[in-house]
Amino acid sequence: MTSVLRMPMTPLSANPAASDPNGTLRDAAARVLFSNWTGASTVPSHTLYPHQWSWDSAFIAIGLRHLSPRRAQRELESLFGAQWADGRVPHIVFNPAVPLDAYFPSPDFWRSTTAGAAAGAPRSLETSGIVQPPVHALAAWLVHQADPGASHARGFLTRIYLRLTAWHGYLAEHRDLGGHGLASVVHPWEPGMDNSPCWDGPLSRITPAPASSFRRADLTHGEAADRPTDMDYRRYVRLAADYREAGYLDRAADHAFVVEDPAFNSLYIASEHALGAIAEALGRDPEPHLTRAKELTGQLVERLWAPKAGLFLSRDVRTDRLIHDRSVAGLLPLLVPGLPSDIVGALLRTVSGEHFGLGSTTALVPSYDLLGTAYDSSRYWRGPAWFNINWALERGLRQYGATDRADDLATSVLASAGASGFAEYVDPYTGAARGTTSFSWTAAVALDLLAAAGTGRCPS
């Protein structure tokens, strides 16, 4: 892989200056990904997140495909090398060379090789026991399209397709806890938007773990004002420990936190469509995937659409009630093909309306309602804008014909990514960097949008 590390930063088009003068932003983004590469995968950040994360690797692969399709394939293959026998893809794959105290919860908390044995955890790798959004099939399809010939020669699609179908099978078989087809999340870390105000209600039922039972490592490298509170963490630890004690067996566990999240399920649907494309490329029948995508879309609308709010809401499965907090998760169904036109129209109005302000008060879409009482422009998923989410929204806007807004959003993502030093997330009003910098998925989605701008088209 040494040759990849030394590869020249060649322009993506005959006229790269139109979108990236002198290619400096592309070069800088490439340096972030190369510096965060560990030999088999890419860490989100060497300080805050020194292991491999599930949905991070999917976004990273989408960006890496523009530098090295082979390395992008390896990114996904490395992650799926830690897949459990029941099909789940754990949200963290731990690097044994990293000291235990560098990140919490560490391998000795999750105890996957022992506590997860009944669920089929790998015997030779330490992982977490929870999952993250299933964006991987979409990533795999985009990676394949970067160099179809080399992908076919390596058998990449054939191998990853079997892994991906097992992953989606796990969600369908083990995570339909509401009984209507949608996948449920059983921990706030699973939908990826860890401390969203949407989880405050369900979390209030959780007895916090004792403060003395763990030590947070994130505050060593991050500002306390940017991170979840200690009380949030105590509840996260309690939920994870209870799941571990149940052997990570979904049907056997008495989940205190069970939520149907629109972003998680929208990425599930988009990836089911991608699985259909992968199946067709392999000469297999795409219909099972397209049928599941259609059924999931119907349930997404039936269970989570809130016409008065103008977006999709999360549902607390324990109470079978919608959670009436507006989050960016409720806009991500724009990624789903074939939504009813009235819903699309409402979503397009909401994304630019007073609650999210795209194009009027904000250049990037915030993670939470600007008018919400829990809005915080600095604290993690309670308001700041995230680059991977804005990348997904750019695709959704473009899919439904809002081309001008998609172009403006892409321009804003690139400008903010560069100006912030590829920050983890930013203040949606000022663009001030929050969290850590040199963050991998920020660099990755910037590379993808630069490639699109350089060729005069949206990413395929």
Please give the positions annotated as active site: 194, 424
SS3 320: coil
Query: What phi and psi, each to the nearest 5 degrees, are found at residue 367?
Result: -80, -15
Residue 315 CA to residue 320 CA, distance in Å, equals 6
Residue found under tokens 């566990």: 253
Residue found under tokens 């660099």: 443
Residue 338, C-beta contacts closer than 8 angstroms, at least 6 positions apart = 294, 297
Record the tokens describing residue 90, joined without a space.
């754990």
Closest-CA residue to 133 (of 41, 268, 255, 42) = 268
Residue 96 CA to residue 36 CA, distance in Å, equals 16
Residue 385, C-beta contacts closer than 8 angstroms, at least 6 positions apart = 362, 364, 365, 366, 367, 416, 425, 426, 427, 428
Q: Fill in the DSSP letter of residue 321.
A: E
Residue 446 has, within 13 A of its CA and on its CB side, a CA count of: 33
DSSP letters for 211-260: GGG---SHHHHS-GGGS--HHHHHHHHHHHHHHHHTTT-TTTS--S--EE
Alpha carbon 184 to its chain's center: 15
What residues does 315 pair with on adjacent strands?
A: 260, 322
Q: Could you give the strand order of the β-sheet that contains 321-322, starting from the edge strand earlier in sequence?
A: 184-185, 259-260, 315-316, 321-322
SS3 279: helix
Residue found under tokens 């169904």: 333
